[in-house]
Amino acid sequence: MADASATIEPEVAIKADNKTEAVSREYIKQRLMAFAEGVGPGKITNPLDQTRFMVKEVLQPAFGSKLVEKSIEGASIFGVEVREQVELEKFKNCAVFFVKMARTSEGTVAVDCLVDVAGKIIDYPQNNTDSIVIPVNEQNGGKNGRDNYINIILFWEGQGAVASPKQGSGDSLTKDLNALKERLENRNSKLLLASINFMSRQKTPSVKTGSSLDA
């Protein structure tokens, strides 16, 4: 896993709404790429180190960014898209990490689903896509007192790996999560586009947000 002291600057300042914000979408994408470049042969592969990097360098800044797109019912979204083919290949490594995170989640995970503008999980059974919704608690980078989710959408050349929308615990979705992991690890599979959205909404009693990244 890439060292947090890598050559990428710790902050990327940009202009937005006449303010200088510390975290941009480009910054988050750069940190994702740094993570991806650090998980290959000869690099640090300790899961705890990977988790610490992802929480500190990606999740906390993304959920804390002021550059969110406000939506209805107290929900907010901060989204990053990956379009270049070289970056898409690297992003597969990040997506594998998040699939592993979903498998150990204590909250409700969803596959072939999206989080809509109101922060609610809805089905998204598109033939050429895979999507995953993962709850994130405060200890792992989410906002305090809110329901936080990572929502990843993968657009493939060809059909997706998951056949139909499902929600449940990480254990109950093992078959689908393993299928998605295998697709991501298959270098012959081609991604056309990927997006990762960091979503937060006012907490609702019926939704669990705990996830154990260190498991």
Strand order in the sheet with 166-168: 69-70, 76-82, 191-202, 146-156, 129-136, 109-111, 166-168
Where residue 88 falls among pLDDT bands split at 50, 70, 90? Answer: very high
Q: Would the pLDDT of 63 be above 70?
A: yes
The answer to whether residue 172 scores a pLDDT higher than 50 is yes
Does 143 have pLDDT greater than 80? yes
Average pLDDT of the residues of the chain? 83
Provide the token pair at 173.
């979705």
**Does 107 or 41 have the greater pLDDT score?**
107
Contacts by 204-209, CB closer than 8 A, 24 or more apart:
204/147, 207/107, 207/108, 207/135, 207/147, 208/106, 208/107, 208/108, 208/135, 209/107, 209/135, 209/136, 209/137, 209/142, 209/146, 209/147, 209/148
- Judging by beta carbons within 10 Å of its beta carbon (0-12, 13-18, 19+), is residue 19 exposed, middle or buried? exposed
Backbone dihedral angles phi then psi of residue 23, each to the nearest 5 degrees: -120, 120
pLDDT for the residue numbered 75: 87
- At CA 30, angle to CA 27 and CA 34, rounded to 5? 140
Q: Classify the C-alpha dihedral 17-29-134-213 as positive or negative.
A: negative
Helices (H), 38-106: 47-54, 60-64, 85-103
Kindly report, residue by residue over 6-41, the tens digit of the pLDDT. Answer: 333 333 333 333 333 457 999 999 999 999 988 655
